[in-house]
Structure 1
């Protein structure tokens, strides 16, 4: 049995139990099955596309078209780019991270590009540029900068700013630090009356 979506199921179950809405980005090699779609609908989550082959407009369009066939009504909230920009992470993966190129594609592809792959360093990093957030807060410890590295920093920022949070489902299951940090973030957000959102303005 192929179990590549089991970690997504675990994260979705947790989010649904805690009334957390999120945007779940899928690659074509991990396209959502019927169970995932059911969990997504139950939690009112949004489907996103995690692009791999961004070498050309044509390769991106091909992947995007395939993903649209895998989600309800072909509706995608937005897309992101797979990888750190250096390592080749799969057969069809084109490693370079080229955000300016992706922003141009938004005009012709009709799918927004809201979130970049960079790491937050300070609170001002949460100010979007033309609706684009270049940096996100990573729950994985290795992708944090000392100047902005704690869940308390996130809670403080979220009182006045929209704070993009990134977590990989596999890390939620396999990484005890990531798992505990998400749960602590959820608890503190409830204590501070901070909502989780998927709408972007």
Structure 2
């Protein structure tokens, strides 16, 4: 079974460059997460770097944006033209109306989406805008009601079940590429995928840029697995 590669674009800015520039980017990211920040040079540079590497490797992914980390429309169109899938990384919504607002904000920029993910695993409030609770049953109901096709959850595990209900797919579990966020090895995840199990591999552009461990783990995963696909490609196998 191919690995489904999931990219959650959490941050607008990351601390790259000289010390003064790093401080500025940290401040801009704080403002973007909690209030408002202009999109100055450096916005999403970590994300663009990851996409460049995936392009070099001939790999596509499903990319999920918060409404505050959206790329320019032309870049979003380019991503789609290259085979990437774009979706919503849910941030602030605590009710269905809030969910629809975030969905519409993302779709205005990237076009129609098929699925979404959730920011955080329910343990801590990460920013002023963040709805910290993690309520997957509610997200599945919202997805079905809104006409979307899937939700990818945040339970940490190497393999995931695929629950199908009312034309909607729920992937409860995720394997984090970042090594400090899991116990199993990349090799184990690759072996499970190559043996026919469903593995959703999650990487965050911020961690990929800032930590050599994350970069090396992703490279190992891409080397070991037989195929990497998007959620869109996976769900096309179902008659939904």
Q: TM-score, normalised by structure 2?
A: 0.74
Change (3 A) 1:96 1:163: same
Change (3 A) 1:38 1:69: closer
Deviations 1:116-171 (A, max 9, x none): 10100x5xx423222322111101122213xxx11110111111122100000011
Report the counterpart of residue 67 of structure 1 in structure 2: 106
Tell me the distance in 2 between the aligned counterparts of 1:76 and 1:98. Answer: 21
Find the residue that maps to 1:54 and give its secondary structure: coil
Tell me the distance in 2 between the aligned counterparts of 1:126 and 1:91. Answer: 31
CA shift at 1:111, angstroms?
1.9
- Is 2:131 the partner of 1:94? yes
Report the counterpart of residue 84 of structure 1 in structure 2: 121
Report the counterpart of residue 187 of structure 1 in structure 2: 223
More strand by share: 2
Does the CA contact (< 8 Å) of 1:8 and 1:36 recur in 2?
no
Does the CA contact (< 8 Å) of 2:123 and 2:132 recur in 1?
yes
Report the counterpart of residue 178 of structure 2 in structure 1: 140
Find the residue that maps to 1:40 and give its secondary structure: helix
* Aligned CA-pair RMSD: 1.7
Find the residue that maps to 2:64 and give its secondary structure: strand
Does the CA contact (< 8 Å) of 2:120 and 2:132 recur in 1?
yes
Does the CA contact (< 8 Å) of 1:13 and 1:39 recur in 2?
no
Q: Which structure 2 segments of 5+ residues have no match?
A: 1-39, 236-240
CA shift at 1:84, angstroms?
2.0
Report the counterpart of residue 175 of structure 1 in structure 2: 211
Report the counterpart of residue 62 of structure 2 in structure 1: 23
Q: Which structure 1 segments of 5+ residues have no match?
A: none
Does the CA contact (< 8 Å) of 1:24 and 1:45 recur in 2?
yes
CA shift at 1:175, angstroms?
1.0
Does the CA contact (< 8 Å) of 1:15 and 1:43 recur in 2?
no
Change (3 A) 1:89 1:34: same
Tell me the distance in 2 between the aligned counterparts of 1:30 and 1:104. Answer: 25
CA shift at 1:58, angstroms?
1.1
Tell me the distance in 2 between the aligned counterparts of 1:126 and 1:60. Answer: 24
Report the counterpart of residue 228 of structure 2 in structure 1: 196
Report the counterpart of residue 163 of structure 2 in structure 1: 129
Does the CA contact (< 8 Å) of 1:23 and 1:47 recur in 2?
yes
Deviations 1:96-132 (A, max 9, x none): 0000001111122122333110100x5xx42322232
Does the CA contact (< 8 Å) of 2:139 and 2:151 recur in 1?
no
Find the residue that maps to 2:126 and give its secondary structure: coil
Find the residue that maps to 2:148 and give its secondary structure: coil
Report the counterpart of residue 13 of structure 1 in structure 2: 52
